Amino acid sequence: MTATDLAEQAEWARTDEERSARSRHSVTPSVWASGVFLFLVIFAAAFPGLVSPGDPLVLHPTEVLKGPAAGHLLGTDAFGRSVLALLVYGARPALVVGVLCAVLGAVAGSSMGITAGFFGKIADQSIMRFNDVLMCFPGILLALLVSAALGGASLENEIIAVAVGTVPMYARVARGETMKVRRMLYVDAAMIAGLPRRRIIMRHVVPNILAPLVVIATLAVGVSIVTAASLSFLGLGPVGGVPDWGQLLAQGETNISVAWWISTFPGIAITLVVVATNLIGDWLRDRLEIRS
């Protein structure tokens, strides 16, 4: 291995990296498909009336537990309601919960992580040990515990419970990134210049650690939707009104041998939304990594 070999390798490594960077930068068909799909779901959530064939709460007692057919494309449930209509109207609560949980978790988790990473020592130890406790519990179990602690089934409790479960993800990453930025020269420079620490955090730390946190938030939407659906499935979701996807799943469970469509379609919907958000999140991560 000579120095000239090293020069060669360095050049080639750089060429290869440039080439792969260019390919990562491109938007693949799967990312396109995810984008289009999510757009449709968001549209359905915003204007369910336009998409749905009818009111989901309307009962068709003569067509109870009918399979997918011309009249009801995805079949009917035990009360004769159109599964398709229920699915469309269920999109809103699913997305709202997903996004709210992601945002709530992001704010709470990132704040914890930034505080721990910036101030270090006692703050770091106490916050991260608390974080470790949160991480000990499997997501759904933690959500159950929090939900029970908060007093049971309701939409607000569901959102908080799910958000709590996502906090550790943010806290870890926010802490690591903050520690990295904390060591940067421009933070030292700001401290010498006399800027108050709060300002340094808001103006210098946060903008520079935003990228990975945004990626996590995107992925957290998917995780939150699944966890929320699980809670609803177990009966801890919102009470009354249109059943959301998790509650649909629960309903279908009892009838699964005779009416597979009641569980299957909500299940597929959840899966597709999660896959789509994951693909978008991955693509975002690749793009942002290139920039940094």
Question: What is the binding site for another protein (CB under 8 A)?
Answer: 1-8, 11-12, 14-15, 18-19, 184-186, 188-196, 199, 203-204, 207-208
Q: Which is nearer to another protein, 13 or 46 (CB)?
A: 13
Residue 180 CB, shortest distance to another protein, in Å, is: 12
Query: Structure tokens of 19?
Result: 């080439």
Q: Which is nearer to another protein, 108 or 195 (CB)?
A: 195
Residue 143 CA from chain centroid, whole number: 15
* Backbone dihedral angles phi then psi of residue 3, each to the nearest 5 degrees: -65, -35
Residue 9 CB, shortest distance to another protein, in Å, is: 10
Residue 24 CB, shortest distance to another protein, in Å, is: 17
Q: What is the DSSP string of 246-274?
A: HHHHHHHHHTTTT-THHHHHHHHHHHHHH
Query: Structure tokens of 48?
Result: 């369910």
Residue 288 CB, shortest distance to another protein, in Å, is: 13
Looking at the DSSP bridge assignments, the partners of residue 82 are 76
Q: Which is nearer to another protein, 71 or 207 (CB)?
A: 207
Residue 190 CB, shortest distance to another protein, in Å, is: 8
Q: Which is nearer to another protein, 42 or 179 (CB)?
A: 179
Q: Which is nearer to another protein, 8 or 289 (CB)?
A: 8
Alpha helices in the chain (DSSP H): 3-25, 29-46, 48-51, 83-119, 121-136, 139-150, 155-182, 185-192, 197-200, 206-233, 245-254, 261-291
